[in-house]
């Protein structure tokens, strides 16, 4: 047996003003889009934004009374990107949320769920290049990974299927 260590490099920023302007715009779009989420059951409004060239694409989570039917904002984003911007490089993705439950906090960074991590990772692999991802709340601290692969270091991928 051998013990090994895994290191993930990321940037921790105090607030949105520490980001370059294009990433500030991207994160601001994600934060604004939380208002468009459909989350009547959880009151947990999530939005994503992706910069594709000069465009910013936003999507939100979509809940459903039949809980397995809902979609996370990240997978909704991937559906839009692969159908509307199939050959355009994605420069970065931002994620934000607004927890509207009484006395809830929406200011700490949030990360994608496991299902979304796997979906985002395969998307990054298909694109053939690292995609930075910003994780935040409505205000406050931001965590920025320089590649989605760092969200899921021991991932399952197409390599295992070959």
User: Catalytic positions, please?
Assistant: 74
Q: How many angstroms separate the CA atoms of 70 and 159, rounded?
A: 29
Q: H/E element holding 23?
A: helix 21-33
Nearest alpha carbon to residue 117 among 99, 93, 83, 139 = 93
Nearest alpha carbon to residue 138 among 102, 114, 92, 104 = 104
25, 57 in Cβ contact below 8 A? no
97, 107 in Cβ contact below 8 A? no
**Sheet containing 55-60: order of strands:** 10-13, 142-145, 133-135, 90-99, 44-52, 55-60
144, 134 in Cβ contact below 8 A? yes
């Amino acid at each position: 047996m051998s013990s090994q260590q895994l290191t993930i490099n990321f940037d921790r920023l105090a607030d949105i003003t520490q980001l370059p302007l294009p990433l500030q715009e991207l994160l601001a779009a994600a934060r604004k889009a939380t208002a468009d989420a459909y989350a009547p059951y959880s009151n947990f409004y999530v939005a994503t934004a992706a910069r594709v060239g000069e465009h910013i694409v936003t999507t939100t989570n979509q809940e459903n009374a039949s809980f397995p039917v809902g979609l996370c904002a990240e997978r909704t984003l991937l559906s839009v990107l692969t159908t509307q911007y199939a050959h355009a490089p994605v420069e970065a993705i931002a994620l934000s949320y607004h927890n509207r439950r009484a006395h809830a906090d929406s200011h700490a960074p949030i990360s994608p769920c496991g299902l979304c991590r796997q979906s985002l990772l395969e998307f990054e692999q298909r694109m053939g290049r690292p995609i930075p991802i910003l994780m935040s709340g409505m205000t406050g601290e931001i965590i920025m990974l320089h590649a989605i692969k760092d969200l899921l270091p021991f991932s399952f991928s197409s390599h295992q299927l070959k």
